[in-house]
Amino acid sequence: MDHDDIERLAAELHKKGSSWSPFQVAASTSLVLYFAWAGSLALGLRKVYLQVPYVPSSVKQVRNMMSLLQGRSGKLVDLGSGDGRIVLEAYKQGFRPTVGYELNPWLLQLSNFRAWRAGCYGKVFFRREDLWKADLSDCNNVTVFLAPSLVPLLERKLLSELPDGACVVAARFPFLNWSPTSIAGDSLETAWAYNITAVRQAGRQMPS
Ligand SMILES: C[S@@+](CC[C@H](N)C(=O)[O-])C[C@H]1O[C@@H](n2cnc3c(N)ncnc32)[C@H](O)[C@@H]1O
Ligand SMILES: *[C@@H]1O[C@H](CO)[C@@H](O)[C@H](O)[C@H]1NC(C)=O
């Protein structure tokens, strides 16, 4: 390939490059978008942002969850804390410390803002941590409101990590293999409370 050949090739390529049809442009753009999407799946973001939509609890739902925790105190953890409303309400009810796990940075900012407005900034904690990696071995009171597809995974994690005596309150999506100790509210705002000790005993009597 001599110099002339290269110049001819360059001219050829240049002609081709300038004559891309709108279809080709669209095709290559969607290819880029596709790879960006595939990349986000590889990073596990799908689990966080697609599988669990951010749906804040209603006022009634928060009240139902809190009524099931009445009389308890100590540490409370909200798994997937959203804008922090459960954590703030639990703090007002006397739980210390109160901790929310959340991965969405915007929701974390909002949570801290809401805490500041409520006068408890620095007293409630929002952690930018994956709830699946959180160590729950010292949590006695846990609230969750995630998605039905995660219930089996969550059952396994809670059963293996929570200390005896812990109470789990689930909103909207009950744990299918556990029997609740009490239930509050109805329809979409239902909350279920589980006594982890009782759940473990039932599991030992009837291994699945
Ligand atoms: C249905 S919302 C509930 C929000 C809040 N607990 C409430 O009741 O208002 C679930 C939240 O869990 C968060 N989330 C989902 N997967 C998570 C993970 N692996 N680690 C931490 N947070 C997660 C989502 O970003 C979302 O904000
Ligand atoms: C939880 O269940 C255990 C075993 O059935 C029981 O001894 C304990 O009192 C229960 N705790 C609460 C708070 O209901």
Question: DSSP letter string over 23-40?
Answer: HHHHHHHHHHHHHHHHHH
The two tokens of residue 33 are: 């978008």
What atom of ligand 1 comes closest to residue 52's alpha carbon? 15
Among the residue ranges 6-15, 91-100, 186-195, the one predicted with the least confidence is 6-15
Selected residue with higher pLDDT from 34 and 49: 34
Q: What is the residue extent of each domain of the chain? A: 3-43, 59-205
State the average pLDDT over residues 45-63: 79
* Contact assessment for residue 90 and residue 66, using Cβ atoms and an 8 Å cutoff: yes
Residue 88 in contact with ligand 1 by CB distance below 6 A:
no
The response to whether residue 82 sits with its C-beta less than 6 Å from ligand 1 reads: yes
65, two tokens: 């969850």
- For residue 127, give the nearest of 145, 100, 97 by alpha carbon: 100
pLDDT at 128 over 60: yes
Using DSSP bridges, classify how beta strands 167-171 and 141-144 pair: parallel, antiparallel or unpaired: parallel
Measure the CA–CA gap between 132 and 102, rounded to whole angstroms. Answer: 11
Check residue 49 and give its pLDDT. Answer: 47
Ligand 2 centre from 65 Cα, in Å? Answer: 19
**Domain 59-205, CATH number (from 3.10.105.10, 3.40.1350.10, 3.40.50.300, 3.40.50.150):** 3.40.50.150
User: Which has more confidence, 97 or 18?
Assistant: 97
Q: What percent of the chain shows pLDDT beyond 70?
A: 74
Looking at the chain, the whole-number percentage of residues with pLDDT higher than 90 is: 67
For residue 104 and ligand 2, the question of a CB distance below 6 A is answered with: no
- Cα-atom radius of gyration of the chain, to the nearest Å? 25
> What is the spatial distance between Cα 31 and Cα 39, in angstroms, rounded to a whole number?
12
How does pLDDT run across 133-185, given as a tens digit for each residue?
999 999 889 999 999 999 999 999 999 999 999 999 999 999 999 999 999 99
